[in-house]
């Protein structure tokens, strides 16, 4: 969950110094829906792996997304445009909060938010590395859980997000089989708590 809200969330060149920013803006302008598989790892400041997870994500801009973690634990995160639902299957517990407070300037807003990205982030191009065009987004709000976010774009669009928090931990999310502008059912972004689940409203 933290990786999503920091991302979920989101979801996918005039000169070398502007290429990555132009790519991101083009991606946001041309991509209203998206779906992909993802692999996520979390490492500490010494690069020791703390967590590893896989799953699927879908989004419909603005403000709707669904991230499903499959391994090693099952968790569903749904933004329905108004509220954020987080369901932990093992605990049979649902947490609900207002979507605007949950997202704020978080990385989820990069994929599922509006096109006005530069209102929430300072963007810097990092150039080409390891076959991807990279940019860095630094949140303007100090309330953001992350100090900076790196996004890597390749031939398939957005391929990697790297998120670093104030404690030196980094979350790396790699996307695969990304589909741009698929037709998604509205039901994907609706969540009904399972019968018998504890529901906590924040």
How far apart are alpha carbons 77 and 95 in whole angstroms?
Answer: 10
Q: Give mean pLDDT, residues 19-45.
A: 85
How far apart are alpha carbons 151 and 171 in whole angstroms?
Answer: 12
Residues 102-116 as b or e (16 or more Cβ within 10 Å = b): bbbbbbbbbbbbeee
Nearest CA among 115, 114, 162, 103 for reference residue 21: 115
Q: Between the CA of residue 121 and those of 87, 107, 136, 197, what are the distances in Å? A: 29, 10, 9, 37
Q: Give mean pLDDT, residues 109-114.
A: 66
The pTM assigned to this predicted structure is 0.79
pLDDT value at residue 23: 80
Domains, the chain, in order of start with CATH, read 2-201 (2.50.20.10)
pLDDT band at 116 (very low <50, low <70, confident <90, very high): low
- Per-residue pLDDT of 145-172, as tens digits, reads 788 889 898 887 889 999 888 888 999 9
What is the secondary structure of the chain as a DSSP string? -HHHH---------STTTHHHHHHHHHHHH-SEEEEEEEEEEE-TT--EEEEEEEEEEEETTTEEEEEEEESS-EEEEEESSEEEEEETTTTEEEEEEHHHHHTTSTHHHHHS-S-GGGTEEEEEEEEETTEEEEEEEESSTTSSEEEEEEEEETTEEEEEEEEETTS-EEEEEEEEEEES----GGGG---PPTT-EEEE-
Residue whose tokens read 């807003």: 109
């Amino acid at each position: 969950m933290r990786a999503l809200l920091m991302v979920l969330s989101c979801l996918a060149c005039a000169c070398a110094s502007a290429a990555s920013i132009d790519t991101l803006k083009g991606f946001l302008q041309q991509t209203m829906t998206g779906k992909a598989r993802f692999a996520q790892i979390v490492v500490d400041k010494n690069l020791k792996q703390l967590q590893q997870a896989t799953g699927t994500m879908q989004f419909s801009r603005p403000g709707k997304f669904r991230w499903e973690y499959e391994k090693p634990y099952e968790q569903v995160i749904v933004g329905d445009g108004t509220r954020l639902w987080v369901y932990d299957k093992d605990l049979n517990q649902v947490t609900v909060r207002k979507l605007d407070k949950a997202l704020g300037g978080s990385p989820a807003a990069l994929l599922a938010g509006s096109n006005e990205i530069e209102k929430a982030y300072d963007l810097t191009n990092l150039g080409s590395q390891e076959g991807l065009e990279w940019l860095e987004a630094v949140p303007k709000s100090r309330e953001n859980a992350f100090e900076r976010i790196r996004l890597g774009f390749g031939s398939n669009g957005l391929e990697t997000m790297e998120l670093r928090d104030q404690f030196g931990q980094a979350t790396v999310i790699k996307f695969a089989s990304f589909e741009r502008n698929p037709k998604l059912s509205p039901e994907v972004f609706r969540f009904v708590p399972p019968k018998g689940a504890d529901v906590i409203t924040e």
